[in-house]
Amino acid sequence: MTATAGRPGPPLSVLLCDDNAMLLEVLSEVVQAQPDLEVVGTACNGEQALRLAYRRQPDLVVLDVRFPGGGPSVAREIAQCSPGSRIVAFSAYDDKGSIEQMKNAGVFEYVLKGASNRELFAALRRAAATR
Amino acid sequence: MTQESTRKQAAPMSEAAFTLLVQGVLDYGIFMLDPQGHIISWNAGAERIKGYRAEDIVGQHFSVFYPPEDQASGKPQWELETAVAEGRLEDEGWRVRKDGSRFWANVVITALWDEKGVLRGFGKVTRDMSERRAAQHALSERRRLFDHLVQAQETERRRIAWDVHDDSIQAMVAVAMRLELLADRVPESYTAELHRLDASVREAIDRLRSLTFRLHPPGIDRHGLIEGLASHLADVVGSSWGMAYTFEHQLDREPSPETAITIFRIAQEALLNVHKHARGSRVDVRVASADGGIVTRVVDDGTGEPMPQDGARDHFGVIEMRERAETAGGWWSMHSRPGTGTTVEFWLPNPRPVPATTPEPAKDAP
Ligand SMILES: Nc1ncnc2c1ncn2[C@@H]1O[C@H](COP(=O)(O)OP(=O)(O)OP(=O)(O)O)[C@@H](O)[C@H]1O
Ligand SMILES: [Mg+2]
């Protein structure tokens, strides 16, 4: 059994955004398997992401950095249409420039693709804790 | 020394006439060498071109005018031998001024014999062709081809880097995530094996990521040379390799994109060599405008292992760095002394964009 953060109450709702279909599917499965996290939507482009963010007002958004519509600008727009959401960048790039751009766009955590699932969950829970 | 007495006889004209002639000429460096190659006379043109005053240079061996790589390959001696064998030698190539900067020289060396057929020395005439060469190079087809090749190569690398990112890395990330998920679900006896698999996939992801970094460093084409180098130094040299560095820059003009990429690529390989071979503790990088171009220096404090002359065929870094610099119309050199580290230094012309490719309305049109 996977450890939860010992957090009572309803699971955190999560919106997943990545343009790679295979990755989106796995991400969805992996996050859903956590008792304290619940996937409420998946998006593979900026337009879908904004629509779902607006409709679902998720607690958390996992956002690819090289994302159709531009990672940083999608992050800004999500923050506008769903101000309660905490965004976690999930990126294949670990250069300073990409990290800075996303942090400037208001993301709370920056997780490198290739980090362990545990690290991703930990980042999601940290981000949620700031709400 | 018997040469003392023979020098005067070697002169084809009286000392006074020779001095007058030689002193009058500013456009040419005209001087004489003894049979061993030591400088025995000097003129104003030579001083202007090479930066040495007569009292600094007379008595020294003329190989000081040659870049370290030519000295190492024995080019000065070879040139004298050729002049002896054929009477005369003409060469165009890089020569070094007193201050270490380089100029593109046309050199004629003539062997001087006395009436008994004894070699008395050499006459040497040097002309500074840098400006003409730069002007020709900037306009040449070769330059345009070079720019095109640089761009084509970068485009290709960028494409490969993106493919690796968007396909290979993502697919492997998906595999790794699934393996970790699976490890939580299978009977305990399989868990360890799955974790091992997962770990090796994640290591492969890291290696692929650094490959894409080398293929296409983010930043260089978005923010220019200085930013690109600065973030390469911070991300790769500082963060990944944990090496101390300094970065100094002094450019009076932003280089063309092709020049910027070429400098970046050469510096990148020089830095990689420092990491792989130097076993030093720090590296200092300096980029500065000089002689109508840009001179870059990468200095480490490592072993200073001299360049291996073993002719091993599987080292391409040095060959590629030199090739890039020379194709761009510049020069490249690596010198090291055991115990004091290695210096890679190169200069590239920084031509202004060819007017034809940037049509602009005449500025002073009414
Ligand atoms: N900064 C340095 N300090 C000490 N030795 C160096 C340094 N740079 C290069 N060398 C020596 O010069 C050799 C040639 O370098 P070069 O870059 O051509 O090849 P390489 O790095 O071994 O292989 P490649 O660059 O093709 O991957 C190196 O193998 C090393 O022995
Ligand atoms: Mg190398």
Q: Is residue A88 part of a domain?
A: yes
pLDDT of B80 reads: 96
Please provide residue B126's backbone torsions phi and psi, each rounded to the nearest 5 degrees.
-125, 135
List CB contacts of A48: < 8 A, sequence separation 6 or more.
Answer: A17
Report yes or no on A1 lying in a domain.
no
Q: Which two tokens stand for residue B58?
A: 């007379």
Indicate yes or no: CB of B169 within 8 angstroms of CB of A113: yes
The β-bridge relationship of strands A86-91 and B282-290 is unpaired
Which of A81-85, A126-130, B149-153, B313-317 shows the lowest mean pLDDT across its residues?
Answer: B313-317
Nearest CA to ligand 1 atom 25: B317
- Specify the pLDDT at position B336: 83
Count of structural domains within chain A:
1
Could you tell me the residue range of the domain that residue A29 belongs to? 12-129
Is the pTM higher than 0.90? no
Q: Whose CA is nearest to atom 16 of ligand 1?
A: B317
Q: Is B186 helix (H, G, I), strand (E, B) or coil?
A: coil
**Coil, strand or helix: which one is B32?**
strand
What value does the CA radius of gyration of chain B take, rounded to a whole number of Å?
Answer: 27
* Domain membership flag for residue A18: yes
| CA nearest neighbour of B193 among B180, B205, B208, B202 | B180
Residue B12: its pLDDT value, please? 60
Ligand with an atom nearest the CA of residue B308:
1
| pLDDT at residue B354 in the model | 56
Residue with tokens 């001299």: B306
Q: Is A113 in CB contact (< 8 Å) with chain B?
A: yes
Q: What is the pLDDT of residue B210?
A: 83
H/E stretch holding B159 reads helix B141-163
Does A6 have pLDDT greater than 60?
A: no
pLDDT at residue A118 tops 80: yes
Pocket test residue of B211, B272, B276 for ligand 1, highest count of atoms within 8 A of CB: B276
* H helix or E strand, kind and range, residue B122: strand B119-128
At B360 the pLDDT is: 46
Check CB contact under 8 Å for B170 and A94. Answer: no
Nearest beta carbon to residue B218 from set A26, A97, A114: A97
Containing H/E element for B104?
Answer: strand B102-113
With a pLDDT cut of 90, the percent of chain B lying above it is 56
Helix (H, G, I), strand (E, B) or coil at B58: coil
Residues with CB under 6 A from ligand 1: B 273-274, 276-278, 300, 302-303, 305, 307-308, 315-318, 342
Spans of chain B below 70 pLDDT = 1-13, 18, 218-219, 221, 306-313, 353-366
- Chain A partners within 8 Å of B170 (Cβ): 20, 22-23, 92, 113
In a domain, A29, yes or no: yes
What is the H or E stretch that residue A29 is in?
helix A21-32
Contact between B266 and B294 under an 8 Å Cβ cutoff? The reply is no
Domain for residue A85, yes or no?
yes
The DSSP letter of residue B341 is -
Residue B229 and residue B285 in contact, taking contact as beta carbons nearer than 8 Å = yes
A43 belongs to a structural domain:
yes
Residues of A in contact with B180 (CB under 8 A): 30, 116-118
What number does the ligand 1 atom closest to the CA of B307 have?
12
Touching B: A residues 43-102, CB under 8 Å: 66, 92-98
B141-165 per-position pLDDT tens digit: 777 887 888 888 888 988 998 888 8
CB atoms within 10 A of CB B265: 21
CB proximity list for A116: less than 8 A, separation 6 or greater: B180, B198, B202
Question: Residue for token digits 């879908």?
Answer: A48
Size of interface A-B (CB pairs under 8 A): 70
Cβ contacts of B213 on chain A, cutoff 8 Å: 95
> Which one has a higher pLDDT value, A48 or B327?
A48
Instruction: Work out whether the CA dihedral B216, B219, B221, B226 comes out positive or negative.
Output: negative
Q: What is the ipTM of this complex?
A: 0.89
Q: State the angle between helix axes of B170-183 and B188-215 in degrees (0 to 180), rounded to the nearest 10.
A: 160
- Compute the distance between CA of residue A19 and CA of residue A45 in angstroms, rounded to an integer: 6
The confidence score (pLDDT) of residue B3 equals: 52
Query: What is the domain-level CATH number for residue A71?
Result: 3.40.50.2300
Alpha-carbon gap, residue A35 to A15, rounded angstroms: 16
Q: What are the tens digits of pLDDT across the range B22-70?
A: 777 888 999 999 999 999 999 999 999 999 999 999 999 999 999 988 9
**Which residue type occupies B43?**
N
